Amino acid sequence: MSELMSSIRERYLQTLDEIASAARAAGRDPGEVKLVVVTKAQPLEVARAAIEAGAHILGENYPEEGVMKLQSLREFSAVEWHMIGHVQSRKAQLVAENFNLLHSLDSLKLASRLDRFCGAAGRTLQTFLEFNVGGEDSKSGWSAWDEARWPVLLDELAAVITLPNLQVCGLMAMPPLGGTAEFSRPYFQKLKRLQEYLILQFPHVNFSELSMGTSTDFKVAVQEGATLVRVGTAIVGPRQYKTEAG
């Protein structure tokens, strides 16, 4: 066992324990929560070590970087590759043809392009709808910080849901950066309320997944209903290089 893999495995198992503890404290089944190990801006050997350490789901922020890794690690056929970062329209084909799930679907324009490329590739892409719950101009996602304006979103979301090659199955959000995990709690609660609202509006759609929580606040996210948490630094360490947004 390499030193790199051993250290990642130790932190991976510790994170799983913390997720389970947070779930049980909230009266939830720990099995309801999946851990996405974020390997963005990490070299290929770190992604390989994470898989060998037990990670089943890897998350990438940049399409080209993610495709390079998943193509280089094809022997790990059971691993799921999730795109968790903002996707520019010109990168839609890379995502549509290569990833198992997209956490960050943030517009009808992107959805239409993904649907077209998925159709051409003969595959269906599972997606989460990304919402901006903090009102930050720098964040992607449908504007959802003002709950009174949620009905305004419905027509466009309905258009996304009807696209034949996308399977919408949940929601995602990134709260504003705060000094503590507790700072994120009201934003996670808002996404949970939005999930409940959309379930009522679209009863035929499975909105059961909630992707929220990162290294700094994933335990609070689990307490508030997250079914996927995206943890990078706490498991694989700080990013090792800078990369262009994709």
For the record, the structure tokens of 109 come out as 């324009």
pLDDT tens digits along 158-201: 999 999 999 999 999 999 988 799 999 999 999 999 999 999 99
Residue type, 191: L
What's the pLDDT score for residue 246? 40
**Which percentage of the chain shows pLDDT scores above 90?**
93
pLDDT tens digits along 22-38: 999 999 999 999 999 99
Q: Taking the CA atoms of the chain, what radius of gyration do you get in angstroms?
A: 17
What's the pLDDT score for residue 243? 57
Query: pLDDT: is 96 or 246 the higher one?
Result: 96
Q: Which residues of 193-226 are buried (b: 16+ CB within 10 A; e: fewer)?
A: ebbebbeeeeeebebebbbbbbbbbbbbbbbbbb
- For CA atoms 193, 100, 89, 244, the dihedral sign is positive
At residue 239 the predicted structure's pLDDT band, cuts being 50, 70 and 90, is confident
Measured distance CA(218)–CA(143) in Å, rounded: 23
Helix axes 108-121, 154-161, angle to 10 degrees: 0
pLDDT tens digits along 193-210: 999 999 999 999 999 999
Greatest alpha-carbon pair distance for the chain in Å reads: 54
The answer, yes or no, to whether residue 42 has pLDDT greater than 50, is yes
pTM here is: 0.95
Query: pLDDT: is 238 or 149 the higher one?
Result: 149
Q: Average per-residue pLDDT in the chain?
A: 96
Main-chain phi, psi angles of 20, to 5 degrees:
-65, -40
Measured distance CA(176)–CA(157) in Å, rounded: 23
